Chains A and B, each alone.
Chain A
Amino acid sequence: MTVAVDTRLSFDDVSMTFPDGTEALRHVSFGVGRGEFVTVVGPSGCGKSTLLRIASGLEQQTDGAVDVDRGDLGYVFQDATLLQWRTVEGNVALLAELDGMSRGERARRVAENVSLVGLDGFADKYPRQLSGGMRMRASLARSLVMDPAIFLFDEPFGALDEITRERLNDELLSLFQRNGFGALFITHSISEAVFLSTHVLVMSARPGRIVGTHDIPFSYPRPPELRFDAAFAELCGEVSTSLRSAHQ
């Protein structure tokens, strides 16, 4: 993969062995630059999530170097991780509040991003009153408020139905274009990976290694119909083949 000019996150020969001896990652190197959307696909339990936990500093790698500005990083978890006692508005404001953003600025950004993720009219609803997709939108808005330079996504749409997932993919791409963040996205859906990304990395089963890199040439904005394009199907096939060979 080509090294981008404005690199926002780089992994240089990173390995990770947990204290119990489980080897999660072995010699992983890649970079995510401004305007790049990098997706990692791999079998369950291959250490994909560990990649993000190391990138964010939640875990410390045992070997190698990670370069990223952790103060300018958004992390969208597998679960929406909303606080049940806060409304959508309160949840979206949380990170800004913890960062000590001024009240006026916070209110402005919260309103803007609640609307941006399509939650107008739900600002005063509690998480239990929302659908899974809406919770994920709120979770996304919570990170968007901080306008991070790099976004980490840990299978954020894995638990959603196909239709909701595709709609959120479309919307995520328009946010990606609008805000110009770099993205590191984890999924086990090949079509989701190809649809979203500039680059797809294929990871082997544990210990996780990058065993294939696929550049996705489609330009943005990507219309939903791209999913039915022959070139799209071909790329999915290539990624799938490389994923299958990694399994053996």
Chain B
Amino acid sequence: MLDTPLGQGEAIIATQTVAPVTTARRRRGRIDIVGPLLVFAAFIGIWYLMHHWALRAIWDKPNFLVPTPHNVVRTAFFTNENRATLVGGLRVTATVAFLGLAIAIVVGIGLATLMARRQWFERSMWPYLVALQAIPILALVPLIGSIWGYGLSARTLVCVIISLFPIVANTLFGLLSADKGQHDLFTLRGVSPSTRLWKLQFPAALPAIFAGFRIAAGLSVIGAIVGELFFKRGDKGIGILLDTFRNRNNYPMAYGALIVAALLGIVVFVIFGLISRLVVGKWHESTRS
């Protein structure tokens, strides 16, 4: 088995895995609250410093390029009309990202299942999945646009392409992770391949599958925004708004859009983490260090 692409898969997962399979069960202490707050304070401090001093003093640029945090928050989130614009953009982007992710999940799990069942298929497909992963998405987006236009379906396709690989790789890795003794146990009972898949391989794969979902979800959000930035047409998502505001020198709104985009990424990451904990948290060995 080790001479199959599984070995490579693990390596790629290792570099890919932004999401740990489960979070280490550490004792929570004061540092978990105080630490992040201090970092946040430092970040805001540097932000003000940029506006009031650094931009002009170091880079000789006008300070409206980096509006103050309170200005950004007031303009983008406490002005009804602006907030409505951003929420509207969020809805467009989130729809594309989730749709792309959903398709990638269905296609990815299907592919990985076939690959786990048929070794010739795994060996034939693997190089192209790696290739798909290696193509810079920025280079692919204009080509997709020129063929399929700039609508919802083209943007969704970008999300599918960018999020497919982590799902396939992690699912495949998971499906092949049941140990030999457990396989022997099923072999002794003379079970069918589908019983083995449903009662052994699939449940064993769940932690890895969810780790794949978390990575893919983040990538899908990025894909949706990159797609919009490039296409600059169609429904106005966060990416288009970001570009528009920047062109109009409306920096408070551009930063507002950036914050919304980041929040969307964080929210999907957290949501999939929670689902994962709900499904496998009870039985999965946590990684203690």
Measured CB to CB, the residues of A under 8 A from B are 56-58, 70, 73, 75, 77-79, 81, 83-86, 94-95, 97-99, 126-128
Contacts and interface: CB of A to CB of B under 8 A. Distances in A.
B59 interface: no
Interface residues of B, number: 21
B282 A83 contact: no
10 contacts: A58-B184, A70-B188, A77-B185, A78-B181, A86-B283, A99-B189, A126-B282, A126-B283, A128-B284, A128-B285
A85 B184 contact: no
Interface stretch (B131-139, B195-203, B267-275): B195-203
B181 A84 contact: no
A85 B179 contact: no
Interface string B176-191: 0001011011111101
Q: 8 smallest A-B Cβ distances: which pairs?
A: A81-B181, A98-B189, A126-B283, A85-B203, A85-B283, A77-B181, A81-B182, A84-B283
B204 interface: yes
Contacts of A86: 283
B204 A85 contact: yes
A135 to B, nearest CB: 12
B259 interface: no
Contact of B195 (A58, A78, A98, A127): A98
Contacts of B203: 83, 85
Interface string B185-223: 111110100010001100110100000000000000000
A175 to B, nearest CB: 20
Contacts of A78: 181
A204 B110 CA distance: 49
Given A70-B188, A75-B185, A77-B184, 6 more contacts: A79-B179, A84-B204, A84-B285, A85-B280, A85-B283, A98-B189
Contacts of B184: 58, 75, 77, 81
Given A57-B188, A85-B204, A79 B181 contact: yes
Contact of B206 (A57, A73, A79, A85): A85
Contacts of B284: 84-85, 128
Given A83-B203, A85-B203, A85-B283, A58 B185 contact: no
B188 A83 contact: no
B18 to A, nearest CB: 24
Contact of A95 (B182, B189, B195, B283): B189
A56 B179 CA distance: 18
Given A83-B182, A85-B283, A127-B283, A58 B189 contact: no
Interface string B260-288: 00000000000000000000101111000
Contacts of A98: 186, 189, 191, 195, 199
B269 to A, nearest CB: 24
A127 B282 CA distance: 10
B284 to A, nearest CB: 7
Contacts of B187: 58
Interface string B160-187: 0000000000000000000101101111
A79 B283 CA distance: 18
A64 to B, nearest CB: 21
A70 B285 CA distance: 34
Interface in B241-255: none
Nearest to B192: A98
Contacts of A77: 181, 184-185
A81 B185 contact: yes
Contacts of B186: 98
A182 to B, nearest CB: 17
Contacts of A97: 199
A94 B186 CA distance: 9
B283 to A, nearest CB: 4
